[in-house]
Structure 1
Amino acid sequence: MPQNFVPFLSENARTEMIGVLNDRLADTIDLSHAVKQAHWNLKGTGFIGVHELLDDVTAHLREGSDMMAERVAMMGGLAQGTTQTVAEKSSLEPYPTELVSVEDHVQALVSRFNDYTVKLRQAMEAADEAGDEDTADLLTEVSRNAEKDAWFIGSNSAKAA
């Protein structure tokens, strides 16, 4: 196993945090792919604004996944982000591939972002309980960005609440 650069955590806490982070990593990668699915296929009123917004949202998710993967590596773990692992481990509902309208994509994305942020908060609580303030802080930052992005996406629809 790679070197552990987080020596203050017990072995049990470190192993738990590697698992928690890899679980959220799978969800983050999955959600970034769902956002791109919407970006590529949405059509209708407000198209260009949502289309461009989704590129920014994808960038935020990729930044979050990178931070999670690097934290796993810092703890001596191996980040699990292959498409096969993500397909197997993501806890998010599969994104529907038949959606076209901006409105339908907005609703589907907001629903998944809401589920995602709940799971991020659960991961933050686990990190707090494990005494891993840095992981909790990292997850807080990812959650804050995800909540803001969900708000921006949802603001394109009266039904997305």
Structure 2
Amino acid sequence: MSNTDPTKKTAEFTAPGLKDKAAHETIKLLDDRLVALIDLQLTLKHIHWNVVGPNFIGVHEMLDPQVDSVREMTDTIAERIATLGGVPNGTPKYLVDRRRWEDYSLGRGLVKDHLVALDKVYDGVNSDHRAALEKLADLDPVSEDMLTGQLAELEQYQWFVRAHLESATGELNT
């Protein structure tokens, strides 16, 4: 079995009532989301360690629950991949090889700089979750439902980030 193709099933089964082709397509979509969410949890922790300046403590403390929640999301997706007969892969090399986006570039930085960059990260993750949802609607309603719940949480986390960036006029300070 290739470690680079998540659709190569190793189990002789998939979820009852789900055709192999739908399972393969679903696994591929979920694998992409798994990679994105593992990347997100690591990025969130990186920001947690490196954010400084005014409002540091509020942002620092806001990020740990997001890390924990996103880590649970990755576990849920990985277990769904396995349920469908696929092979979840979270090794560092696999993640780097599968990424379609640039690495988070800020090191130690001010709250505003990190939050502006994190807002863009959430834009990408949340948009890609929505795109996967559209495809999953026809493939696997169970996986679609799972991602719908995750997207609701991810959008709320982005709202938290944006609330820190919002000015008194209601505009985002980016």
Fold in common (TM above 0.5): yes
Q: Classify the secondary structure of the residue corresponding to 1:155.
A: helix
Structure 2 residue runs without a partner (length 5+): 1-9, 167-171
Does residue 80 of the first structure (1) align with residue 95 of the second (2)?
no
Does the CA contact (< 8 Å) of 1:6 and 1:75 recur in 2?
Answer: yes
Name 2:80's counterpart in structure 1.
71
Name 1:116's counterpart in structure 2.
125
Does the CA contact (< 8 Å) of 2:14 and 2:20 recur in 1?
Answer: no
- What is the identity, as a one-letter code, of the residue corresponding to 2:86? G
1:26-105 paired onto structure 2 within 5 Å: 26-105=35-114
Does the CA contact (< 8 Å) of 2:51 and 2:114 recur in 1?
Answer: yes
What is the CA–CA distance in structure 1 between the aligned matches of 2:153 and 2:52, rounded to whole Å? 25
Does the CA contact (< 8 Å) of 1:4 and 1:75 recur in 2?
Answer: yes
Q: Classify the secondary structure of the residue corresponding to 1:115.
A: helix
Q: CA deviation at 1:76?
A: 0.7
Q: CA deviation at 1:111?
A: 0.6
Q: Which has the larger radius of gyration?
A: 2
- Count matched residues: 160
Name 2:6's counterpart in structure 1.
none
Q: CA deviation at 1:99?
A: 4.6
Does residue 142 of the first structure (1) align with residue 150 of the second (2)?
yes
Q: CA deviation at 1:72?
A: 0.2
What is the CA–CA distance in structure 2 between the aligned matches of 1:35 and 1:76, rounded to whole Å? 30
Does 1 or 2 have the higher relative contact order (CA < 8 Å, sep 6+)? 1
Does the CA contact (< 8 Å) of 1:92 and 1:116 recur in 2?
Answer: no
- What is the identity, as a one-letter code, of the residue corresponding to 2:44? V
Structure 1 residue runs without a partner (length 5+): none
Moved over 3 A (4+): none
Does the CA contact (< 8 Å) of 1:26 and 1:89 recur in 2?
Answer: yes
Structure 2-normalised TM-score? 0.87
Q: Deviations over 1:29-84 (max 9, x none)?
A: 00111111110000011111100110011111111111100000000110021111
- What is the identity, as a one-letter code, of the residue corresponding to 1:145? E
Q: Tell me the percent identity.
A: 33
Name 1:153's counterpart in structure 2.
161
